């Protein structure tokens, strides 16, 4: 069973929400789909930037939960817009989640060729015949759903676009590793530990990942290499010239002597 993953709470709070490139046209709002059967996901261009021609790849996910805290359940597809066009056929395994009217919606993470990412969400729909369960928090959010409207888009193309025109945009470095496709993957710059801890409300740098255990042999990975973003900082080090401490004496020495035999 998948470990449910709540994502984008920080993004929804701190990133400008705007209409973006993709709008879903299938499945329709409020549609009822039988779990475990194939159905078509289709989308169209909204006319707002970025255009589909400016997007390279996408990853399609199944979500549940509230509009303010979408919970990712399952990766449905990953491809390039050039290869997929404007539709893809997907199937949701029946054990992916529980039952609920308009409990599900789709989320598409698109990567722009110039850098940056866009999240677009579909309207809500119902999956029937599902045999899985939701955790209590998600179940409460699903029960509170009213209507069939999904979350607003999250457009980070403008914020993440590479201003100096390097070959790899910031969006590639910022895209979660598991959501990248292609022969080359990108890892973000390694952070530098601070000299003092001043934070009082600690948050993880990256969201946790959903886990699916393999039941059959997996195919060989197609990735050839992983590139790590170059450091924009410099560090220096020096030898520790302090005199080594002598052997323990007094109480510690007597304590250690007890165990010599």
pLDDT at 223 over 90: no
* pLDDT value of residue 54: 85
- For residues 140 and 136, what is the distance between their CA atoms, to the nearest angstrom? 6
* Percent of the chain topping pLDDT 70: 80
* pLDDT value of residue 125: 97
pLDDT at 51 over 70: yes
The least confident of 24-38, 40-54, 188-202 is 188-202
The least confident of 17-21, 85-89, 222-226 is 17-21
Q: Which 3 state secondary structure label does DSSP give 114?
A: coil
* Percent of the chain topping pLDDT 90: 33
Question: Are the beta carbons of 64 and 138 closer than 8 angstroms?
Answer: yes
Residue predicted with more confidence, 171 or 210: 210
Mean of all residue pLDDT scores within the chain: 79
Partners of 131 in the beta sheet?
none
* pLDDT value of residue 174: 74
Residue predicted with more confidence, 246 or 62: 62
* pLDDT value of residue 123: 96
Mean pLDDT over residues 6-20, rounded? 39
Residue predicted with more confidence, 261 or 35: 35
Mean pLDDT over residues 34-58, rounded? 89
What's CA 67's distance to the chain center, in Å?
Answer: 16
* pLDDT value of residue 45: 87
Length of the chain as a residue count: 261
pLDDT at 155 over 90: no
* pLDDT value of residue 52: 84
Does this model's pTM top 0.95?
no
Structure tokens at 67: 């509009």
Question: If we measure between CA atoms, which residue out of 72, 158, 181 comes closest to residue 121?
Answer: 72
Q: Which domains does the chain have, with CATH numbers?
A: 5-188 (2.60.40.10)
pLDDT digit string, tens, across residues 71-111: 889 989 988 888 888 999 999 999 999 999 999 999 998 88
Residue ranges of E strands in the chain: 5-6, 22-26, 32-34, 38-45, 55-65, 70-80, 87-91, 105-112, 117-121, 126-128, 154-155, 184-187, 225-228
pLDDT at 189 over 50: yes
Partners of 65 in the beta sheet?
70
Partners of 125 in the beta sheet?
104
pLDDT at 18 over 60: no
């Amino acid at each position: 069973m998948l470990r449910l993953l709540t994502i984008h709470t920080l993004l929804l709070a701190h990133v400008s929400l705007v209409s973006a490139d993709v709008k879903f046209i299938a499945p329709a709002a409020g549609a009822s789909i039988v779990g475990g059967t194939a159905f078509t996901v289709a989308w169209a261009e909204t006319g707002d930037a970025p255009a589909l021609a400016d997007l390279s790849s996408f990853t399609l996910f199944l979500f549940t939960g509230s509009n303010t805290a979408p919970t990712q359940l399952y990766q449905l597809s990953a491809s390039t817009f050039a290869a997929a066009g404007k539709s893809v056929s997907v199937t949701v395994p029946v054990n992916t989640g529980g039952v609920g009217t308009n409990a599900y919606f789709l989320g598409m993470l698109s990567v722009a060729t110039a850098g940056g990412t866009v999240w677009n969400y579909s309207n809500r729909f119902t999956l029937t015949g599902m045999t899985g369960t939701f955790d209590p928090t998600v179940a409460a959010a699903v029960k509170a759903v009213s209507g069939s409207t999904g979350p607003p888009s999250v457009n980070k193309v403008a914020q993440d676009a590479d201003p100096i025109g390097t070959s790899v945009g910031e969006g590639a470095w910022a895209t979660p590793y598991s959501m990248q496709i292609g022969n080359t993957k990108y890892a973000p710059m390694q952070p530098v530990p601070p000299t003092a801890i001043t934070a009082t409300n600690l948050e993880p740098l990256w969201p946790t990942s959903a886990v699916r255990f393999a039941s059959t042999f997996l195919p060989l990975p197609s990735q050839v290499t992983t590139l790590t973003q170059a450091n924009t900082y410099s560090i220096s080090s020096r030898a520790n010239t302090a005199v080594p401490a002598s052997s323990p004496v007094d109480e510690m020495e007597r304590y250690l002597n007890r165990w010599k035999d």
